[in-house]
Structure 1
Amino acid sequence: MERIPEDADLVTITAGGNDLGYLGAVINAALTATFEGRPATFALANLLRKDIPVPSDADIARTADGLRAVVEGARRRAPRARILLVEYLPLFGAETRPGLFTSAQLTQFAELQHAVGEAYARTGMETVAVSREHALGSAEPWVNDYRGLLRLSSSFHPNAAGMRAVADAIAGQLDR
């Protein structure tokens, strides 16, 4: 919070997914699938394999409370700023098909993705949402697919089109 200028006009915050294990579960499943497919690393896949979390109502409420606390901290730092919670770009949607992930995993990830959105909704704070139609597998995804071990840090994160979409959504929200 100390990096937020006290005279800021606008603060945008995207957070909460890690609280519910969302991106960690996606990356873990991607790595497990990668290592499973190679005889030399199959044993490592078994060590990495974890269940995809199923957040409870209490987990979602705790995440919403955490998001509210982050917003309140930003508000204390920049009391005149408009503070927007910016939802994660969706990774999984109707056009996402099994491949790296199984159908069951895709269903579980969609539920986790929904839980993160529910946590945002429960905050009661001003929230910016983006289209759900640009997930992996769509004609124009706004997030990077799994990019392999050497480019893991950019996997499942917004691409340039996604960042433009987020900027446009924020601008649209500011016009309201």
Structure 2
Amino acid sequence: MSRYVALGSSMAAGPGIRPSAPGAPFGSGRSARNYAHLVAERLNLDLVDVTFSGATTAHVLHERQRSARPQIEALDGSEELVTITIGGNDVGYVPLLMAASLPAIARRLLAGRVRELFDRAARERALDDVADALRGVGTAVRGRAPQARVVFVDYLTLLPAEGAPAAPLSVEHADLGRFVCARLEDVTAAAAQATGCELVRAGHASRGHDGWSADPWAVAAGLPLPWRPAPFHPNAAGMRAVADLILEQVGKN
């Protein structure tokens, strides 16, 4: 059976999508119905899923996360397929959206951190930094898995289109979220191209399937509760849709 390693953050792990993956580390939010598990089932691949909620590019490359070793260490060179969804935590994407959905009084209590998240110049600097980090991820993965098809999978669209309401987010905060989303898609695509990796454009495919839509692939603002998919993250339909996109991509050759 061919080997498939899934790397990434909560956008790949699937926090709150039941059931949890057997043996998943505490706090990883790893679902047995995330896109990696669905792809592995369809292609009959031997899956090693090391996705972990909260992961950054550093956790992929060289830093431990809780009890988990750097994700790249899961690669042994025998892989047929590697998928990567990472970068959002480096730039504070979902934390920004979560902060924007808080009541004003809560934002005041978290004043310093919230101000930094809402600082557009700080987000731009973080996006410049993650562009380099994503190229580092692509290069390192290609080096450790030289025979594999390495596929970057960008983030699902989380917010409705400009001009559409995204309550409780203000227009200003929603626009900042859209800016971060668009730049993150761009730098992910650039990293894939620069490092000889493939790209699945989940963000583009999911336009109109945001959490406020009639056919959502992601969850809108709300309380993070353990028995349902996390706010500003894929739901089960979103994971199925991303799995289909990956299957379409890897079936091209």
2:213 match: 138
Per-residue Cα deviation, 1:108-132 (whole angstroms, up to 9, x for no partner): 1111111111111221242111212
1:45 is matched with which residue: 102, 107, 110?
Answer: 107
Output the CA distance in 2 between the equivalents of 1:135 and 1:96.
11
Per-residue Cα deviation, 1:63-122 (whole angstroms, up to 9, x for no partner): 122112112222222221110010000101228513211111111111111111111122
Distance 1:144 1:98, change over 3 A: closer
Output the CA distance in 2 between the equivalents of 1:148 and 1:101.
14
Instruction: Say if 2:201 is the partner of 1:129.
Output: yes
Contact 2:210 / 2:219 at 8 angstroms: preserved in 1? no
Instruction: Say if 2:176 is the partner of 1:88.
Output: no
1:108-127 equivalent positions in 2, closer than 5 A = 108-123=176-191, 124=193, 125-127=197-199
2:82 match: 11
User: Once the two structures are aligned, what percentage of the paired residues are identical?
Assistant: 34
Output the CA distance in 2 between the equivalents of 1:75 and 1:136.
34
3-state secondary structure, aligned to 1:20 = coil
1:21-36 equivalent positions in 2, closer than 5 A = 21-30=92-101, 32-33=102-103, 36=104
Output the CA distance in 2 between the equivalents of 1:74 and 1:96.
39
Q: Which runs of 5+ in 2 are unaligned?
A: 1-71
2:235 is matched with which residue: 149, 156, 159?
Answer: 159
Contact 2:131 / 2:187 at 8 angstroms: preserved in 1? yes
Q: Which runs of 5+ in 1 are unaligned?
A: 37-41
Name the Cα RMSD after superposition: 2.1
Per-residue Cα deviation, 1:118-161 (whole angstroms, up to 9, x for no partner): 11122124211121221121111111123314449711111110
Between structures 1 and 2, the one with greater helix share:
1
Output the CA distance in 2 between the equivalents of 1:20 and 1:170.
25
**Matching residue's letter, 1:163:** M
Distance 1:77 1:13, change over 3 A: same
3-state secondary structure, aligned to 1:168 = helix
